[in-house]
Amino acid sequence: MTHEFKKIIQVYESSAKASIRAVLATVVALEGSSYRKPGVRMLILENGSMVGAVSGGCVEKEIVRQTESVFKSGEAKVMTYDGRYRLGCEGVLYILLEPFKPKPAAIKRFWEYVAHRIAVKIECSYKQKDMVHSNFGSCLIFGEDRFSLHGAHKPDPAFSLFSQTMEPGIQLFIIGAEHDAVQLSSLATGIGMEVIIVANHTEEKSSDHFPGSERLLAITPESFPTSEIDEQTAIVLMNHSYAKDLQYLMTLKACKPFYLGLLGPFKRREDLLNAFLEQCPETEDSFLECIHGPAGLDIGAVTPQEIAIAILAEILMVARDRIPVKLRDKKGSIHSTS
């Protein structure tokens, strides 16, 4: 959900410069089941535009209608939405609507935390019923510092509290800059991953070739920024060069990404790993266990776009500790709670 909140902040910054007011909608509680879970948000602007979503599309119209009173009064409120008779989700949503005008200091701290891949905490004060109250609202928390998302909000211990920790999003290093890397980058940024392209330093590539990516590094394998790899990092080797892939494996051997994907058939993976282990026999098992090759799930992918979908599906599967299964064969909840 961090990437969704990043988009909300970006849109707010642009709208604030144009003096367009905004209201933030947050699902703070749920009775029963719903398409999305507490902690999802959307931003509604006074000009009628919005970013984000709290459902599959059925609740948003009612939220927009309910925000009219928030824009008029400047006071936060809680609205309920009973989807049992309208959505078929068998759930009741409790949605906090509040004026959204975080202080510049809060926004600055938020982007600093994002840049350093530090989790951001947010707390919402509310009551689980339809009502208006000036002390309903949310706070961003950075260590010991708290920032209200609207000036009138003062947390009240008598209210219910929804607390959420927004962990850093998945960071994806794509090593390679050919057409299939462009497709993978495009789809990965579309689902909120923070994409970093690693291109050969001799290639004439720029970030313009990879819209939405965070940055492009034109480097040699030895210059790879291994210190940036954390437990939320995935890597896909897409060089189409056996020698380069071997060089990168040797550079990465002490790192601990949760996923490292290798393109190519099974035999290529075996040859590559055998050569790698001859050069680096002391490599820890934990590094070898994170290697997935051939990368991707077997969905019958043929085109570069389909292959990218297969790879991203496997990355999400590993990140969320899932076993592939058709949803029609799954019992219980079909959506991730993370």
Residue ranges of alpha helices (H) inside 35-194 are 60-73, 104-115, 179-190
In a domain, 95, yes or no: yes
The residues, any chain, with a CB within 8 Å of residue 6's CB and separated by 6 or more, are 114
Question: Does 31 lie in the same domain as 142?
Answer: yes
**Position with higher pLDDT, 251 vs 59:** 251
Amino acid letter at 334?
I
- Among 32-41, 185-194, 203-212, the range scoring the smallest mean pLDDT is 32-41
Count of structural domains, the chain? 2
The residues, any chain, with a CB within 8 Å of residue 149's CB and separated by 6 or more, are 24, 98, 100, 101, 102, 106, 137, 138, 139, 140
Residue 338 confidence (pLDDT) above 50: no
Residue 203 confidence (pLDDT) above 80: no
In a domain, 99, yes or no: yes
pLDDT of 82: 80
Amino acid letter at 282?
E
**Position with higher pLDDT, 256 vs 37:** 256
Question: Which contacts of 249-252 are long-range, i.e. CB under 8 A and separated by 24 or more positions?
Answer: 249/276, 249/280, 250/221, 250/276, 250/279, 250/280, 251/221, 251/222, 251/224, 251/226, 252/224, 252/226, 252/287
- % of the chain at pLDDT higher than 70: 93
Q: Which CATH number belongs to the domain containing residue 212 in this structure? A: 3.40.50.720
Q: What is the pLDDT of residues 6-22, one digit of tens each?
A: 999 999 999 999 999 99
**Considering only CA atoms, which of 258, 291, 286 is closest in space to residue 172?**
258
Question: Does 120 lie in the same domain as 244?
Answer: no
Residue 7: domain span = 2-166
Tokens 């799930």: give the residue. 297
In a domain, 275, yes or no: yes
Question: Does 199 lie in the same domain as 94?
Answer: no
Residue 61 confidence (pLDDT) above 60: yes
Q: What is the pLDDT of residues 305-335, one digit of tens each?
A: 999 999 999 999 999 999 888 888 877 666 6
Residue 47 confidence (pLDDT) above 60: yes
pLDDT of 33: 64
Residue 257 confidence (pLDDT) above 80: yes
DSSP state of 36: S
What separation, in Å, do the N-terminal and C-terminal C-alpha atoms of the chain show?
Answer: 9
pLDDT of 60: 85
pLDDT of 336: 56
pLDDT of 253: 95
Mean pLDDT confidence for 126-146: 93
pLDDT of 157: 82
pLDDT of 81: 86
pLDDT of 204: 76
Mean pLDDT confidence for 256-271: 94
What 3-state DSSP class applies to 92?
strand
Q: What is the pLDDT of residues 66-108, one digit of tens each?
A: 999 999 999 999 999 886 665 555 678 899 999 999 999 999 9
Question: Does 142 lie in the same domain as 25?
Answer: yes
State which of 166, 192, 213 marks the end of a domain: 166
Q: Which residues pair with 154 in a beta bridge?
A: none
Quick one: pLDDT band at residue 65, thresholds 50, 70, 90?
Answer: very high
- Among 61-65, 90-94, 238-242, the range scoring the smallest mean pLDDT is 90-94
Question: Does 150 lie in the same domain as 176?
Answer: no
State which of 120, 137, 166 marks the end of a domain: 166
In a domain, 325, yes or no: no
